Amino acid sequence: MFAQTFRGLFLVVFLFVGAGFALPVLAAAPPQELFSAVEGGDAVRVEALLKSGVGANAVDARGVPALVTAAGRGAADVVLALLFAGADVNAADPSGTTPLIAGCKGGHTAVVQALLEAGADPQRRDGDGHTARYYAEAAGDPGNLVVLLEQFGGGEKVRGVQRFVTVPLYFSTNRKPLAPVKGTAQYGAERDAKLHYGKCEVTIPVSHVPGELEGPSTLLLELSADPEKHIILKDAREFGEQEFYRQLKAEAGPRDILLFVHGYNVAFEKAARRTAQLAYDLKFPGIPVLFSWPSQGKILGYADDARTVAASVPDIERFLRILIERYRPEKIHVIAHSMGTHGLTQALARISDSQKKGHKVIFNQLVLAAPDIDGKLFREEIAPKLSHLARRVSLYASSHDLALAVSHRYNDGRRAGDSNPEIVVVPGVDSIDVSRVDTSLLGHSYYGSNRSIITDISEALQLKKPDEREFLVRRESPQHRKYWLFNPTR
C-alpha cells in the first residue's frame, strides 16, 4: 500500500508540474517544517508538504533555499521532489552557493546529475568567484563530477527532469566472460582461472521504494526494462587490474568503500543491480564495489553453487589481499549474504592465519546477512578469527529463513543464519535476531528488502553501537550470552 501510494503521489506531482499546473493548495504548513524534512532526507514528508502548499522555493532564516540544503546533504530523492514541484534549479544562498555548487562540494554524483539534467548552470559563480567545477576538483573529483560538468558545459537547459539516477560501481569477478552485448561486458556461470575487473553503471528510478529491486513484471505485462520504473544494469566495462585500482583510488579519494559479496542463485546482472540498490538505499557516501563469484543464478543450482563458492575462496582471498594493499582497510566496509558469507569468511580466515603475530588487518564494519555457514564451524573456527579482522562484526539471523532450513537438511547441520531454536552467539560478534520482520517469500533476502533492516545496517556503517541503534533490544540467550532482538515497533 505504501509503495502504491508513494508512486501514485509522485506520478501526480510530475504530471501536474510537467503540464504547467500548480500543485493543489491545501492547509499550508510552516516553511520550517519543510526544512526539517529536507535536512532529515525525508522525501515522503517533503512531497506531502509541497502538496499542502509550502513553496518549493522556500528559504530558511539564513536565506538558504531548500534545494541548496537538499543538494548539499546528497538527498537525491528530496532534490528531485523539489525540482518536480518547481524549485529554481539555480537559486543561490546569500553567499552565492547554488544547488549545483552545494552538490559538488559534497561530492554527490546523483544529485549533480539530476541538477544538470534539470538545467543547472555549471558556469554560475559564487560570491568567491568559483564555479561548481572548482569545488568538484577541490574535493578530488569524486564520482567523475568534472566529466559530468563538462557534458553540460554550456549550461543549456534540458526539458523536463530525467526520472532516474545513475549509480556507478566497481566490480571484480572470477566468472568467465561471455560475448559483449551492445558493448556491455557479460559474465556467465563458469569459473575462470583469473580475476576480471571493471566498472558498471546501474540506473535507479526516482520512484524506487527502499528495499525493492524493481524489475519488469509479467503480471503487469511489462516486457522490457524501463529506467523510469526499474533498476537496470545500464553498462559494464572491463579493464585491467592496474586501471581498476587506479580509477577506484582516484574516485574514492578519502571516502569509504562498501564491498558486497552476493549469495546463492544470483547472476552477475542481478548482483550488480543489488549492489547499487543497497548502496543507494543505505545512502552510502562512498564507493560501492562488487565481488561476483560464478553462481548458477538458478533456484535448483544449490549444489553447484556450493561447490563453486568453495572453489572461489582463493580468488576472493586474492582480491581482498590486493584491495587491502591498495586501499586503507579501515576504510572498507563489507556486506556478504547467504552462501557468499562462506566464501568471504573462509578467505578472511586464510588471511588471518597468514598474518604475522601482532600484525592485524582491521576492516571497518563486517556484516554477515543470513550466513549459510555451519553453525558449529562458525562458532569454533571462523568467528574467533573474524573478530580480530574488523572493528565490528554483525550477524543477522532469522528463524523464518526457509532457504537456510533447506540448506540445513542438505548440509546436515544448522546454519549460522538460522536462529531456530536459538541464535548463534559468540564473543566479538553482534548477533541480531530479525525473525520479527521477515516479509519476503523465503525470508532470506531481508538484508536488502526490508527498510528497517536497511536502516539498522546503515546505522552500523555509521559506527553506532548496538545499544545506540533504533530497532535493537538487548536480550540474553539461555547460556546468559548477550544478543540483540530486532524490534521494529520499539
Q: What residues are paired with 365 via a beta bridge? A: 392
HSE-up (13 A, CA, CB side) for residue 255? 22
Task: Provide the 3-class DSSP secondary structure of residue 421.
Answer: coil
CATH architecture of 2-162: Alpha Horseshoe (1.25)
* Domains 2-162 and 165-486 in one fold: no
- How does pLDDT run across 227-271, given as a tens digit for each residue? 989 999 999 999 999 999 999 998 888 889 999 999 999 999 999
Sorting pLDDT into bands at 50, 70 and 90, what band is 444?
low
Task: Provide the 3-class DSSP secondary structure of residue 170.
Answer: strand
> How do the domains of the chain map onto residue ranges?
2-162, 165-486
Do 257 and 327 touch, CB atoms closer than 8 A?
Answer: yes
Identity of the residue numbered 70: A
| Predicted local confidence at residue 2, as pLDDT | 34
| Predicted local confidence at residue 176, as pLDDT | 98
Please give the distance of CA 369 from its chain centroid, rounded to a whole number.
14
DSSP H/E element including 248:
helix 241-252
- The third-level CATH classification (topology) of the domain covering 165-486 is Rossmann fold (3.40.50)
Please give the distance of CA 457 from its chain centroid, rounded to a whole number.
10
Phi and psi at residue 161, to the nearest 5°: -125, 130
Whether the bond between 421 and the residue before it is cis, its omega within 30 degrees of 0, is yes
In terms of Cβ atoms closer than 10 Å to its own Cβ (0-12, 13-18, 19+), residue 384 is: middle
Other beta carbons within 10 angstroms of residue 468's beta carbon come to: 10
Do 216 and 223 touch, CB atoms closer than 8 A?
Answer: yes
| Predicted local confidence at residue 11, as pLDDT | 36
- How does pLDDT run across 279-306, given as a tens digit for each residue? 999 989 899 999 999 999 987 788 999 9
Sorting pLDDT into bands at 50, 70 and 90, what band is 221?
low
| Predicted local confidence at residue 22, as pLDDT | 41
Mean pLDDT of 142-152: 73
Q: How far apart are alpha carbons 339 and 373 in whole angstroms?
A: 7
Residue among 423, 296, 394 nearest 336 (CA): 394
Sorting pLDDT into bands at 50, 70 and 90, what band is 472?
very high
Backbone φ/ψ region at 415: left (φ over 0), alpha (ψ -120 to 50), beta: beta
CA torsion angle for 259, 276, 211, 188 (degrees, to 10)?
A: -90
pTM above 0.85, yes or no: no
Mean pLDDT of 152-173: 70
pLDDT at 155 over 60: no
| Predicted local confidence at residue 222, as pLDDT | 66
- Which residue intervals of 336-441 are DSSP H helices? 340-354, 375-377, 383-386, 402-411
Phi and psi at residue 299, to the nearest 5°: -65, -30
Phi and psi at residue 421, to the nearest 5°: -85, -15
The Cα-based distances of 12 to 6, 147, 165, 394 in angstroms read: 10, 33, 20, 41
Identity of the residue numbered 405: A
| Predicted local confidence at residue 276, as pLDDT | 96
Instruction: Show the cell assigned to 130.
Output: 568559483
Strands 430-433 and 472-476: unpaired
Whether the bond between 24 and the residue before it is cis, its omega within 30 degrees of 0, is no
Q: How far apart are alpha carbons 147 and 449 in whole angstroms?
A: 33
Sorting pLDDT into bands at 50, 70 and 90, what band is 114?
confident
Q: What residues are paired with 393 via a beta bridge? A: 366
